[in-house]
């Protein structure tokens, strides 16, 4: 296969969600003289664009969008040694977690994975995260955005505690705050002083992308 | 005890009747020709917990008397925060039971009281958080000593791998979670729960795969959502039946826990009475199975409602009234010999609209249950039942399946058949790869439990 054919084959293996094939073609493309930049632009980015379009047209599921994103990440890992230490460019940084007292993390995980697929650097604090841990992460990581999730009405009150703790630490103005999860609403987000609300993962990521674009 | 035959055919299974019906609580009969409302509630956050439980119980019992509800079941599902305070748990159960007893005596009510203990374990801790496991067992003991008639749990063994796998459509991970890891945890847990229940002469009700199958159902969402395939959520439900069955194999007698939609399978296999929820649990979550799931219930539940004020009263009493009328209609059908007609309408109204409803239809449940009881172990039955579900979905031309669903079904068939060729080998090999990649996954702790 020629270099061009291999670049197409990587793209197609991303669209077909075939990790093994994508890895095989990536190694062959590098051997055939493709640069990492070519693979990123012509294979990964194009493949992700096709998968994204298929998702928008309801042909693919969100889970498939996530899998494609993970394949893209794995290919990027293969390319890292060839990038001569140059860091992959990220569009922004997000500190994310499920608030204290709430162990439900699947919605938060979906958002985190979609953010990574959208080229954000994600610092995932996990579930049952106390306000002080959010504050510490904002101090240490200097993110653009803080994302919080809660499934239960009994735990969503913790979101306000996190915002208050950020204010107390003098960090609130440095970050945008977005909240989501089954228990919360747009009105609730406004009432506690969050900057944004995601009714679902797609919406949440869209809001984050918009914020970093405006920066 | 392993179940090796089925207790029902699709023709004879119906709401209100269970071969192994139960008498418990205060003169309550479940599964003996009557569908009983089961009401579940939770207190408002900002209020005093004990005052809230008192208020909820009082309004529920008053409303039952006002409506003429002769039989009912109350359920307290303990929260993570309540589990922190053993004294509080004992007091709130005791308080509710004494109020139930008073009302039952004064008004001739037949009442059961279920307590569901929260699974508070952190599976990332060594030995899967032994301290929390012991605390859960202490709370089961406390609940038994203070007035619970039925014990239940929504246990979460295997969930860390399931969460990782479901959002990636990773069938090997899902099988390894539900058909392998969860089985070790279920056996350990239910040996203990059954023993506690037996010592106090109360009922070991059953376990719900809420953390698995209801998570999949919730992510799959509505007809137009494209989050995960509905056919994936439906095979997760089928696999969950294999997992939740373990509670009964360890000696649970029912009534099964309400949010376990897989209870249809458990009723067909065990003949024990089951609680179920559907259209009247829309207050807690939406589903595409609101009618079909009622076709075989013995208790009928609202899932969960907060004690907030509505025009018609507080949330719990309003939902008790809804359940009262739902069950009254089913019971009237039984009294008039028309239960099969109503059952068939319930099934027909949902069955072909979505794969999740399809796998809860008694004829489909029957075919898949035959596979479940015919397999030699938990892992094999988990994979084989999913393959059967895929086959039945593929063969039903009238089932509403999108292009994406059909594509997933083809992929799932290939993958599951590959796993079924040597299940233990495939799963054990896969687990080696998940360790280190899946947060909190401690495979050894399952095997050594």
Q: What is the pLDDT along chain B (449 residues), one digit of tens a residue?
A: 899 999 999 999 999 999 999 999 999 999 999 999 999 999 998 899 999 999 999 999 999 999 999 999 999 999 988 999 999 999 999 999 999 999 999 999 999 999 999 999 999 999 899 999 999 999 999 999 999 999 999 999 999 999 999 999 999 999 999 999 999 999 999 999 999 999 999 999 999 999 999 999 999 999 988 899 999 999 999 999 999 999 999 999 999 999 999 999 999 999 999 999 999 999 999 999 999 999 999 999 999 999 999 999 999 999 999 999 999 999 999 999 999 999 999 999 999 999 999 999 999 999 999 999 999 999 999 999 999 999 999 999 999 999 999 999 999 999 999 999 999 999 999 999 999 899 899 999 999 87
Shortest alpha-carbon distance between residue B80 and chain A (Å): 7
pLDDT of residue A202: 81
- Number of neighbouring beta carbons within 10 Å of residue B47: 12
| A77 and A13 in a common domain | yes
Residue after which a domain boundary falls, among A65, A83, A101: A83
Token digits for A62? 């969100």
| Separation in Å, CA A132 to CA A71, A99, A105, A164, A181 | 34, 11, 19, 10, 21
| A207 and A119 in a common domain | yes
pLDDT of residue A155: 83
| A46 and A126 in a common domain | no
Q: What is the pLDDT of residues A172-187, one digit of tens each?
A: 999 999 999 888 899 9
| Spatial separation of the C-alpha atoms in residues A215 and A198, rounded to whole Å | 20
pLDDT of residue A144: 96
Distance of alpha carbon B210 from its chain centroid, rounded?
A: 6
| Spatial separation of the C-alpha atoms in residues A121 and A144, rounded to whole Å | 10
With CB atoms and an 8 Å threshold, state whether B226 touches A126.
Answer: no
| Separation in Å, CA B376 to CA B7, B183, B243, B336, B387 | 19, 14, 14, 42, 16
Q: Does A126 contact chain B (CB < 8 Å)?
A: yes
- pLDDT band for position A88 (cuts 50, 70, 90): low
Q: Which residues of B are less than 8 Å from A60 in CB distance?
A: 226, 404
| A103 and A184 in a common domain | yes
Q: What is the pLDDT of residues A98-129, one digit of tens each?
A: 998 877 777 888 888 888 878 899 999 988 89
Q: Does A52 contact chain B (CB < 8 Å)?
A: no
Shortest alpha-carbon distance between residue A141 and chain B (Å): 21
| A125 and A54 in a common domain | no
Alpha helices in B278-361 (DSSP H): 315-335, 339-350, 355-358
Q: Which residues of B are less than 8 Å from A110 in CB distance?
A: 167, 219
Which of B80, B404, B439 is nearest residue A101 as measured by Cβ atoms?
B80
In the three-class reduction of DSSP (H, G, I as helix; E, B as strand; rest coil), residue B393 is classed as helix
Rg of chain A on CA atoms, in Å: 19
DSSP assignment string, A61-102: -HHHHHHHHHHHHHHHHHHGGGGTTPPPP-SEEEEEEEBTT-
Q: Are A131 and A140 in contact (CB under 8 A)?
A: no
| A109 and A199 in a common domain | yes
| Spatial separation of the C-alpha atoms in residues B267 and B256, rounded to whole Å | 9
Shortest alpha-carbon distance between residue A109 and chain B (Å): 9
* CATH number for position A174: 3.40.50.280
Domain range for residue A11? Answer: 3-83
Rg of chain B on CA atoms, in Å: 21
Q: Find the chain B residues whose C-beta atoms sit closer than 8 A to any C-beta of A.
A: 42, 45, 79-81, 163, 166-169, 215, 218-219, 224, 226-229, 232, 306, 402-404, 408, 439
Strand residues in B27-164 grouped as ranges (E): 28-32, 36-42, 71-77, 110-117, 150-153
| A120 and A49 in a common domain | no
- pLDDT band for position A87 (cuts 50, 70, 90): low
| Spatial separation of the C-alpha atoms in residues B145 and B130, rounded to whole Å | 23
Give how many domains chain A has, as a whole number.
2
| A122 and A69 in a common domain | no
pLDDT of residue A13: 96
Alpha helices in chain A (DSSP H): 3-15, 19-31, 36-38, 46-56, 62-79, 106-117, 131-141, 153-168, 186-192, 201-214
| Spatial separation of the C-alpha atoms in residues B392 and B198, rounded to whole Å | 40
Q: Which residues of B are less than 8 Å from A101 in CB distance?
A: 80-81
Q: Which residues of A are less than 8 Å from B45 in CB distance?
A: 153-154, 157
Cβ neighbours for B351, distance < 8 A, ≥ 6 positions apart: B292, B357, B358, B361
Q: Which residues of A are less than 8 Å from B226 in CB distance?
A: 55, 58, 60-62
| A207 and A173 in a common domain | yes
DSSP assignment string, B118-151: -----TTSGGGTHHHHHHHHHHHHHHHHHT-SEE
Q: Does A41 contact chain B (CB < 8 Å)?
A: no
With CB atoms and an 8 Å threshold, state whether B45 touches A67.
Answer: no
| A188 and A119 in a common domain | yes
| Spatial separation of the C-alpha atoms in residues A37 and B61, rounded to whole Å | 70
Q: Residues of A19-31 as b/e, b for ≥16 C-beta within 10 angstroms? A: bebbbebbebbbe
| A141 and A61 in a common domain | no
% chain A with pLDDT above 90: 56
* CATH number for position A41: 1.10.1240.10
With CB atoms and an 8 Å threshold, state whether B167 touches A60.
Answer: no
More confident residue, B89 or A36: B89
Residue after which a domain boundary falls, among A83, A118, A141: A83
| A127 and A59 in a common domain | no
Q: What is the pLDDT of residues B286-325, one digit of tens each?
A: 999 999 999 999 999 999 999 999 999 999 999 999 999 9
């Amino acid at each position: 296969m020629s270099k061009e054919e291999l670049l197409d084959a990587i793209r197609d293996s991303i669209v077909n969600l075939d990790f093994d094939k994508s890895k095989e073609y990536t190694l062959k493309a590098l051997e055939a003289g493709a640069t990492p930049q070519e693979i990123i632009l012509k294979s990964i980015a194009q493949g992700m664009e096709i998968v994204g379009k298929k998702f928008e047209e309801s042909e693919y599921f969100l889970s498939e969008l996530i899998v494609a994103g993970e394949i893209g990440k794995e290919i990027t890992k293969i390319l890292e040694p060839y990038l001569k230490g140059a860091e992959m460019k990220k569009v922004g940084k997000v500190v994310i977690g499920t608030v204290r007292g709430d162990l439900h993390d699947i919605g938060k995980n979906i958002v985190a994975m979609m953010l990574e697929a959208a080229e954000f650097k994600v610092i995932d604090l996990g579930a049952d995260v106390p306000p002080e841990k959010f504050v510490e992460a904002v101090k240490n990581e200097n993110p653009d955005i803080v994302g919080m999730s809660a499934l239960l009405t009994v735990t969503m009150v913790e979101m306000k505690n996190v915002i208050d703790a950020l204010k107390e630490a003098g960090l609130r103005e440095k970050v945008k705050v977005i909240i989501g999860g089954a228990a919360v609403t747009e009105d609730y987000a406004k009432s506690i002083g969050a900057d944004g609300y995601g009714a679902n993962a797609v919406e949440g990521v869209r809001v984050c992308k918009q914020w970093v674009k405006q920066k | 005890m392993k179940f090796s035959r089925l207790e029902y055919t699709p023709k004879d299974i119906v709401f209100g009747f269970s071969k192994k019906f139960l008498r418990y609580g205060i003169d309550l009969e479940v599964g003996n020709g009557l569908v009983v409302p089961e009401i579940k509630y939770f207190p408002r956050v900002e209020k005093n917990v004990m005052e809230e439980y008192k208020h909820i119980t009082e309004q529920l019992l008053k409303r039952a008397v006002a409506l003429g509800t002769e039989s009912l079941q109350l359920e307290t599902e303990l929260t993570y925060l309540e589990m922190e305070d053993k004294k509080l748990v004992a007091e709130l159960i005791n308080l509710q039971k004494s109020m139930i007893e008073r009302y039952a005596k004064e008004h001739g009510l037949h009442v059961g009281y279920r307590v569901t203990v929260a699974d508070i374990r952190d599976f990332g801790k060594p030995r899967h958080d032994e301290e929390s496991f012991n605390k859960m067992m202490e709370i089961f003991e406390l609940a038994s000593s203070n007035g619970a008639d039925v014990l239940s749990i929504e246990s979460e063994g295997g969930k860390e791998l399931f969460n990782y796998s479901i959002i990636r459509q990773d069938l090997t991970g899902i099988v390894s979670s539900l058909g392998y890891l969860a089985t070790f945890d279920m056996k350990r847990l239910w040996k203990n729960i059954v023993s506690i229940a037996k010592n106090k002469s109360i009922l070991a009700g059953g376990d719900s795969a809420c953390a698995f199958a209801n998570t999949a159902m919730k992510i799959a969402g509505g007809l137009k959502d494209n989050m995960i395939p509905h056919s994936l959520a439906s095979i997760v439900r089928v696999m969950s039946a294999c997992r939740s069955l373990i509670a009964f194999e360890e000696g649970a007698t029912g009534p099964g826990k309400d949010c376990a939609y897989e209870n249809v399978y458990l009723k067909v296999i065990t003949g024990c009475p089951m609680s179920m929820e559907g259209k009247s649990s829309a207050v807690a979550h939406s589903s595409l199975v609101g009618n079909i799931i009622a076709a075989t219930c013995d208790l009928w539940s609202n899932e969960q409602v907060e004690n907030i004020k509505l025009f018609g009263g507080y949330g719990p009493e309003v939902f008790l009234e809804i359940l009262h009328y739902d069950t009254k209609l089913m019971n009237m059908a039984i009294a008039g010999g028309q239960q099969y007609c109503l059952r068939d309408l319930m099934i027909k109204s949902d069955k072909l609209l979505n794969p999740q409803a399809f796998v809860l239809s008694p004829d489909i449940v029957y075919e898949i249950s035959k596979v479940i009881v015919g397999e030699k172990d938990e892992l094999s039955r988990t994979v084989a039942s999913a393959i059967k579900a895929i086959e039945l979905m593929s063969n039903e031309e009238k089932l509403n399946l999108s292009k994406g669903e059909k594509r997933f079904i083809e992929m799932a068939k290939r993958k599951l058949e590959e796993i079924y060729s040597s299940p233990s080998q495939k799963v054990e090999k896969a687990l080696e790869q998940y360790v280190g990649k899946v947060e909190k996954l401690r495979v050894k702790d399952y095997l050594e439990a």
